[in-house]
Amino acid sequence: MLFSDFKSKPYKEISTSLLWEYDLKNFDYQGMKLLVVQRVIERGRMDDFYAMLNLYGLEEVIKTLKKIKMLNKKDMNFVSVVFEIPFEELRCYREQQLTKSY
């Protein structure tokens, strides 16, 4: 896995620019996990990925990724490949399948 060395990386915080609209002094990173993980996937830098993995742990990040309702195709493919999650386990994939027009 691309980020398998995350435990050896020094802990950094997630970029404040990813959560620009929130007051981060009182931000609940556990309660807003779904939003944080989605923002890191969509706009994060490598340091943000390492920070996310150090904050939540690999298992919890994977569980959260499976719950995200909306990701574009590029991000969905990235998540599937990097975190080794089959498309069928991603909610965003299933939602897209339901809304496809034929």
Write down the mean pLDDT value for the chain: 92
* In the predicted structure, residue 1 carries a pLDDT above the cut 80: no
Provide the residue count of the chain: 102
pLDDT in tens, 26-51: 999 999 999 999 999 999 999 999 99
Q: For the chain, which residues make up each domain, given as ranges?
A: 6-99
Long-range contacts of 12-15 (CB under 8 A, 24+ apart): 12/47, 12/50, 12/51, 13/51, 14/40, 14/44, 14/48, 14/51, 14/52, 14/55, 15/44, 15/45, 15/47, 15/48
Q: Please, are residues 82 and 4 in contact by the beta-carbon 8 Å criterion?
A: no
pLDDT in tens, 53-101: 999 999 999 999 999 999 999 999 999 999 999 999 999 999 888 776 5
Say what the pLDDT of residue 100 is: 64
Q: Please, are residues 91 and 34 in contact by the beta-carbon 8 Å criterion?
A: no
